Amino acid sequence: MSEQKVTFRVFRYKQGDTAPHYDTFTVTVNERTTVLEALQAIRRDQDGTLVIRHSCHHASCGTCGMRVNGKEVLACVTNVLELGTPTVTVEPLQNAPLISDLVVDMGPFYETFSQAHLPFVRRSEYLPDAEVAEGVPFHMRFESCIECGLCVSACPVVASDAEYLGPAALAAVWRVVQEPRGTEVPPLLDWVNSEHGCWRCHVALECSEVCPSNVDPGGNIMALRQELVRRALGLSHG
């Protein structure tokens, strides 16, 4: 496997710093090296104070979201050489409080899922005519969204309106409206039918473009709007 050197320009910030800055590192990569692996190599061989966050290494946990060359990605599945740039700029997600270097505080973002009444893991009942496996009373259904926050970082409306509910929460609400499982839908629709709710979106679909899990939050927002119109016309039960 051939190797080559790539320059990484990495955003740096520690609590108490007056301003962030960028540090430059050279890393030897091959055709398979991901941005996350390169950052781990920097941390291991050059600067152990570099703060990064990751877990699964396979686009499942949603923890390694960051901006690479200005675009929101999961670093663990972003191939360095396929970026095609001699210098790779790595920055933290936007629209979230910065903790250190490439790590932001996801707490406020996760809180929006609670507000949307979509817990991270939902119990899934068997269909009435489904064959029930012996000893398995229920399945746990994992929703498509991996709570990575890329959509919120990419959303220009979140950047200009801190109260905007944001693409992930709005997509979560549409998911609940589709399958409420006991959740009261009308209050949720009232919540998104607001100045800072789904009417604030300007439909450029940056969120759907960066979503690594095909949730299509922008499309879900449009579906929510249609549901609100149906409700206003008395054509919906919601």
Q: Which residues bind ligand FES (CB under 6 A)?
A: 54-57, 59-64, 74, 76
Other CB atoms within 10 Å distance of the CB of residue 156? 14
Q: Which is nearer to ligand FES, 5 or 58 (CB)?
A: 58
Residue 149: phi, psi to the nearest 5? 85, 5
| Runs of H (alpha helix) within 117-155 | 150-154
Looking at residues 176 to 235 of the shown chain, list those that interact with ligand SF4 (rule: CB under 6 A). Answer: 201-207, 211, 213, 215, 217-218, 221
DSSP state of 66: E
Q: What are phi and psi of 180, to 5 degrees?
A: -70, -30
> Rounded to the nearest 5 degrees, what angle is found at the Cα of 222, between the Cα atoms of 217 and 228?
125
Rule CB under 6 A: choose which of 52, 66, 75, 171 binds ligand SF4. Answer: 171
CB of 41 vs ligand SF4, minimal distance in Å? 26
User: 183 near 126, Cβ under 8 Å?
Assistant: no
- Closest to ligand FES by CB, 65 or 166: 65
CB of 135 to ligand FES, least distance (A): 31
| Nearest-angstrom CA–CA distance, 76 and 16 | 29
Of ligand SF4, ligand FES, none, which one sits near residue 57, judging by CB under 5 to 8 A according to partner kind? ligand FES
Find which of ligand SF4, ligand FES, none residue 211 binds, CB within 5 to 8 Å per kind.
ligand SF4
Q: Which residues bind ligand SF4 (CB under 6 A)?
A: 145-151, 154-155, 157, 167-168, 171, 201-207, 211, 213, 215, 217-218, 221
